[in-house]
Each structure stands twice: as structure tokens, then as C-alpha cells.
């Protein structure tokens, strides 16, 4: 087990003798006895010059230490809603080491949120995420208000945040009760996020704290306190922090996306939802074969690892982002949350997984170990072995999903094959032109995102931009196919996704998809008798002793779908702006996890371009950055 991983410990709802919500871990109450709303308005809003400072702004970002019940967030949200001169968007980043579970939070907000905040509290509780470590993005007011929740130790999370913060709410438990929340390294990390003119406020007011804030990079002073406290602390950041990306003017928000598969669709939707105009260039449509046309169904299942490594963290974040982004799409395009039983290979691996789940301490409603009998009951079919059950496993119809993503208002799809890109303009006005084989321009913009899998490698090479990217140079394409099996051959099919050595998916109405193959060095991706024999054998292996009608099926006679995976070393994608070509971005190398990365990486790019807090920690962003 990695020494860097610390399981998330949820908060426990306890009350002191006066009925106030109390933390037995820190021996302190959660909010002022004089009222949380009054404290939020006096200390954190007025202490940071709000609402005045957000007026006339395109965006305003707040960072908070200590989310608790979210009463500061709710008060801030209400003040923003009530202000006709408010900023166009409000972004809040908040860290919480011991979050409450969804049911506890809902009950506590019903008890403690004053009437002006009650309805907003119910909306917060309705979106509250599973208690998993890392960042969670919640969206309200059609995306105009975002809440990026960091679950975990603030000293670990703060240096992994990417945001331009205009106001800091320092609201941990009292310094003498929880000194780590007021320690100099954490305060320095926060100061590193400061936008020009950033302000800071907290109810705490000791000489030691003021000196620490001064040393960290804040100019602070005592100010009149609230609720019987004589003083609070308020001030300004002494200098601009390390994150200095500026908002792009609305008139310049046009992007060209090359590729209309899962990567390009995720980027296009994320940008369009933020008001961008997006032109998508699609070679598949130029040939009458849109990406994933005929790909009936696929599975989106997160992974777990004993050390909670980068791949596990990214897949967890990606599955949560996909659920939030796609669940409201039209029927057929929206994922079906049916759960996934992931079978273990043998008893030894099953024992190891038991230890992993115990060490990770993830909520059982998100992942739990299941015996063969329980796995079979969940699937509705006798299965070969037990394994783990991911309750949020999703069945997705990729072709329909992509069409829905590209149907977002503001997105235009142009058939055409991009062969190279060229710089246009000079200085600040520099942009990019996307050109076909004849040299004719297909589209141009200040921002171009290559999301066309292995095809991006050829474009970069033809444009003289590949050499500084040794990892991208190693990207290669793997062919693979899946087979569509009549549901009747599987007694109607499984009720949930069954994975392991291969996978077996529930009936879509057209049949059950089984998969998949991995073909190295293939010259074409095609449906074949040999491929169907492999996929049917994998399905039979998942079912163990269950004698279905699979044996009666003739490989080569069934419908199927074949396609390509673009694979990079380490099987992590390459996503981000090219350091040697500003304005040119990559979103490639999604390998077998196009569904896992699509929504998350789209939001990572869109957030960076829009000056929002990133939904991805900086250490993970560095791992997937193009290089």
C-alpha cells in the first residue's frame, strides 16, 4: 500500500449539550452560535468585499478551506442569485477532510440551513457525490455556478489545485483545535492561487495566524468580528499567484475540433455548454462512416488499485464526470446505470482485492466485493466466479452518445479530412488554420484541438510539430471488434454488465454485445469469424458452467462492429495544450477508455480555456499532458 494514500474518513453527526453540530475529531462546533448565515455574510462576504467585487465581472472564483455543511457556499450562492449586477459565472473551490454522507448532509441542512438557504440546501444535497477522495465538480444554475469539492486533506489537495482565486474563505476548525488547516505550507499554497487583487477573510484572529498569513503572502489586519467576537482577520494577497491564465474574451470563443469520436464529442460538448462556437471536422463523415456508427453498446466501469494510482484516480473521476454530463441526454444517448460485476480470475486475486477494498475504504454503495452467488444474482445469470460490484457501472450506446454530444447548440460538424495545421497571424492575434491534402483551409480559429486519435500523429508530423513530443510519437493503433449476440441465446441477457476476461453487456433491444479483441499490427479493423470466435469464447468463460445457446452460434455469421484504439505508453491519454505551439491542443490516446476520458477531458480543456478552476488535480494533469 502506498504511504501517500490515506483513506477518507467521513464526518459523524454529533451534537453538544446545546444542540450544536459538533466534531468529536476536533472538539469544536461547526458554526457560530450566533448563526451561520450571519457569520457567512459578515465575515466571508463582506470581509471579501462581496457582492461589490464581482459586479461587472465575467467570472469570479472563491476558494474555501473547510466546507462543513456548505452554509458559506449556500450564503454565497444566494447573494450571487440576488444581485442583478452579479458576475456571469461564480466558481467555488472548497476542501473538506471529513465530508458528511449524502443522507446525513440532507438531514443536517434541513435542521441548520435557515429558511433563505433551505431550497438551495436541498439542491446541494441532491447533487452530493459519493465519499471518494479527489475532486468532484457540481454544477448549478445551468452551469453558471460551479462547486469543485475536494475530499481529502487540504495540505495534500491545495498544491494540486489549479484556479485563479479572487476571494479566500478560511473556515477550518479553530487553529488550536486543527492547526494543520492554518499551517504556513497550506497558506502558501493558497496564496499561490491568488488572482490580481485577491482578498482573504476569516473569523479567526490570533497574532500567530496573522503573522503566518503575512509570511504566506497575504497583507492582513484585524477587523470588527461577528457574534460576540471582537475581531476577525481580513486582507489582500500581496502578489499574483502561480496560476495566471486569463479569461478569453467572449468574441474570441471559437474553437476547431478535429475528430468527431468520443474524444472530439466530449470536447465539443464541454465548450458549447460554456457558450463557445465549435466547428468539428470529421473525416469519417467525409467517407460516409461516422465514428462508432454501428457500435451498439459499450461499458463504462471505473477501476480500483491498491495504491489508488493515477489510472484508478482518473477512471474514477472520469466515470463521475460522464454520469454528471450525460445522464440528462435524450433517451438512447444517456447512459444506463445498471452496475458492473467485474469477475476476479482466481481465489488469490479475490483475496488480494478484499485487502485492497479494505485499505481504500471506499463506500460500499460505490464498490463492494461479491461472492459467485451474489454476482450471479446481480447479473441474473450463473457466473463463473465472484468479484467486485460497481453500482455506478454504465451501459452506453457510443454512436447515439456521440450524435447527442455533437448536437449541442453552437456545434457545427463539417465533413473533411485534416492533413496539417498552419499558424496564422502574428503575436497576440496568432491562430491556426486546418488544411486538407490539397492545402485548402477546412476551418480556422485561435484554438484548435486535435481529437482524432492516431490521426493526430500524422497531422503533427506533416506540420513539423511532432518531434518535441516523444511520447505522442510512440502512439499506435490497435484494432478490435465486438459481437452482437441475440439476447435469447443468453436467456434474455445479463441484468448488469459482466466484465473480466472480456465482457458481456445487457440487452439493448437489438441484442447483447460481447467483446472484445485486441489485434496488434492489423492493416484494417474488420469483423471476422476469428474475432467472433474469440469474443464468444470470452463470454462463455464469464458464464463458467452455464450452458447457454452460445455454442449454437456460428462465428462469422453474427453482426458486429470493429474499430481502432489509439494507445500511448502507460495507457493514459495525452490531453492539453502543446507547449511549443500555443493555441494547439491534443485530446488523444484514449485507448480502451474513450468513455471514461471523454467528458472529463472535455471539461479539463474547456475549464482551462475559460479560466475556470480545473476539475482535475495538477499531478494528474501533468501525467496526461502532451509530451
What is the residue extent of each domain of the chain?
Answer: 14-237, 251-292+400-475+569-624, 340-391+476-567
251-292+400-475+569-624: CATH number: 3.50.50.60
Cα 400 to Cα 397: distance, rounded to the nearest angstrom: 6
pLDDT in tens, 294-329: 899 999 999 999 999 999 999 999 999 999 999 999
Is the overall model pTM greater than 0.85, yes or no?
Answer: yes
Taking alpha carbons only, the member of 319, 320, 598 closest to residue 451 is: 598
Cα 525 to Cα 560: distance, rounded to the nearest angstrom: 12
Same fold, 14-237 and 251-292+400-475+569-624: no
- DSSP H or E segment with residue 103: helix 102-112
pLDDT band for position 3 (50/70/90)?
Answer: very low
What confidence score (pLDDT) does residue 328 get? Answer: 93
Which CATH superfamily groups domain 14-237?
Vaccinia Virus protein VP39 (3.40.50.150)
Cα 259 to Cα 407: distance, rounded to the nearest angstrom: 15
Across 433-462, average pLDDT: 97
pLDDT in tens, 349-365: 888 899 999 999 999 99
Residues 6+ apart with CB under 8 A from 92: 61, 62, 63, 64, 73, 76, 77, 145, 146, 147, 148
Which CATH number is 340-391+476-567's, of 3.30.70.3040, 1.10.3260.10, 3.30.420.40, 3.30.9.10? 3.30.9.10
Q: Tell the burial category of 598 from Cβ atoms under 10 Å away from its Cβ (0-12, 13-18, 19+).
A: buried
Kindly list the distances between the CA atom of residue 469 and the CA atoms of 190, 461, 475, 577, in Å, as whole numbers in the listed order. 32, 10, 10, 12
Kindly list the distances between the CA atom of residue 164 and the CA atoms of 169, 247, 475, 618, in Å, as whole numbers in the listed order. 14, 10, 34, 14
- HSE at residue 364, side-chain half, CA atoms within 13 A, is 4
Q: Tell the burial category of 156 from Cβ atoms under 10 Å away from its Cβ (0-12, 13-18, 19+).
A: middle
What confidence score (pLDDT) does residue 178 get? Answer: 86
Please check whether residue 439 is in contact with residue 463, taking contact to mean a CB–CB distance below 8 angstroms: no
Helix and strand totals (H; E) in the chain: 18, 31
pLDDT in tens, 266-286: 999 999 999 999 999 999 888
Amino acid at each position: 500500500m502506498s504511504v501517500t494514500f490515506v483513506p477518507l474518513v467521513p464526518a459523524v453527526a454529533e451534537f453538544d449539550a446545546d444542540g450544536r453540530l459538533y466534531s468529536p475529531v476536533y472538539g469544536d462546533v461547526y458554526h457560530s452560535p450566533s448563526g451561520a448565515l450571519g457569520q457567512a455574510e459578515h465575515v466571508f462576504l463582506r470581509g471579501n468585499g462581496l457582492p461589490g467585487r464581482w459586479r461587472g465581472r465575467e467570472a469570479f472564483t472563491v476558494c474555501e478551506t473547510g466546507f462543513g455543511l456548505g452554509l458559506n457556499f449556500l450564503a454565497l450562492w444566494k447573494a450571487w442569485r440576488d444581485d442583478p449586477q452579479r458576475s456571469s459565472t461564480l466558481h467555488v473551490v472548497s476542501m473538506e477532510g471529513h465530508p458528511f454522507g449524502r443522507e446525513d448532509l440532507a438531514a443536517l441542512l434541513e435542521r441548520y440551513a435557515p429558511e433563505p438557504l433551505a431550497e438551495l440546501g436541498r439542491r446541494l444535497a441532491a447533487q452530493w457525490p459519493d465519499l471518494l477522495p479527489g475532486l468532484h465538480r457540481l454544477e448549478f444554475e445551468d452551469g453558471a455556478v460551479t462547486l469543485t469539492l475536494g475530499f481529502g486533506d487540504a495540505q495534500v489537495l491545495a498544491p494540486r489545485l489549479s484556479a485563479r482565486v479572487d476571494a479566500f474563505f478560511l473556515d477550518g476548525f479553530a487553529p488550536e483545535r486543527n492547526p494543520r488547516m492554518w499551517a504556513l505550507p497550506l497558506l502558501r499554497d493558497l496564496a499561490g492561487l491568488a488572482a490580481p487583487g485577491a482578498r482573504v477573510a476569516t473569523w479567526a484572529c490570533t497574532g500567530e495566524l496573522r503573522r503566518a498569513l503575512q509570511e504566506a503572502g497575504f497583507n492582513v489586519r484585524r477587523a470588527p468580528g461577528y457574534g460576540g467576537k471582537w475581531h476577525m482577520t481580513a486582507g489582500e494577497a500581496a502578489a499574483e499567484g502561480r496560476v495566471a491564465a486569463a479569461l478569453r474574451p467572449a468574441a474570441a470563443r471559437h474553437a476547431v475540433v478535429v475528430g468527431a469520436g468520443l474524444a472530439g464529442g466530449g470536447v465539443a460538448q464541454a465548450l458549447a455548454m460554456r457558450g463557445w462556437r465549435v466547428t468539428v471536422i470529421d473525416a469519417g463523415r467525409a467517407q460516409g462512416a461516422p465514428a462508432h456508427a454501428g457500435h451498439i453498446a459499450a461499458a463504462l466501469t471505473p477501476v480500483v488499485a491498491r495504491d489508488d494510482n493515477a489510472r484508478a484516480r482518473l477512471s474514477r473521476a472520469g466515470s463521475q464526470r460522464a454520469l454528471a454530463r450525460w445522464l440528462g441526454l435524450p433517451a438512447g444517448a444517456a447512459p444506463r446505470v445498471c452496475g458492473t460485476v467485474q469477475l476476479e480470475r482466481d481465489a488469490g486475486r479475490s483475496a488480494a482485492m478484499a485487502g485492497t477494498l479494505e485499505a481504500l475504504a471506499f463506500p460500499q454503495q460505490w464498490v463492494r466485493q461479491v461472492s459467485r452467488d451474489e454476482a450471479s444474482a446481480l447479473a441474473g445469470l450463473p457466473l463463473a466466479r465472484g468479484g467486485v460490484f460497481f453500482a455506478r457501472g454504465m451501459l452506453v450506446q457510443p454512436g447515439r452518445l456521440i450524435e447527442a454530444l455533437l448536437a449541442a447548440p453552437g456545434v457545427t460538424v463539417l465533413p473533411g479530412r485534416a492533413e496539417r495545421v498552419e499558424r496564422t497571424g502574428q503575436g497576440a492575434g496568432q491562430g491556426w488554420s486546418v488544411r486538407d491534402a490539397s492545402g485548402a483551409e477546412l476551418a480556422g480559429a485561435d484554438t484548435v484541438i486535435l481529437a482524432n486519435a492516431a490521426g493526430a500523429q500524422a497531422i503533427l508530423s506533416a506540420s513539423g510539430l511532432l518531434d518535441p513530443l516523444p511520447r505522442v510519437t510512440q502512439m499506435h493503433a490497435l484494432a478490435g471488434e465486438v459481437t452482437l449476440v441475440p439476447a435469447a441465446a443468453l436467456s434474455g441477457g445479463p441484468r448488469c454488465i459482466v466484465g473480466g476476461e472480456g465482457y458481456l453487456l445487457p440487452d439493448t433491444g437489438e441484442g447483447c454485445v460481447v467483446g472484445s479483441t485486441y489485434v496488434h499490427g492489423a492493416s484494417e479493423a474488420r469483423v471476422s469469424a476469428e474475432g467472433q470466435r474469440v469474443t464468444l469464447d470470452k463470454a462463455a468463460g464469464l458464464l463458467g458452467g452455464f450452458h447457454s445457446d452460445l455454442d449454437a452460434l456460428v462465428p462469422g455469421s453474427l453482426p458486429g462492429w470493429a474499430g481502432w484504439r489509439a494507445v500511448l505508453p502507460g495507457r493514459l491519454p495525452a490531453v492539453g495544450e502543446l507547449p511549443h505551439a500555443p493555441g494547439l491542443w491534443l485530446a488523444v490516446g484514449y485507448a480502451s477508455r474513450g468513455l471514461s476520458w471523454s467528458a472529463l477531458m472535455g471539461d479539463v480543456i474547456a475549464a482551462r480555456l475559460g479560466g475556470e478552476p480545473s476539475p482535475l488535480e495538477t499531478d494528474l494533469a501533468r501525467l496526461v499532458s502532451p509530451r
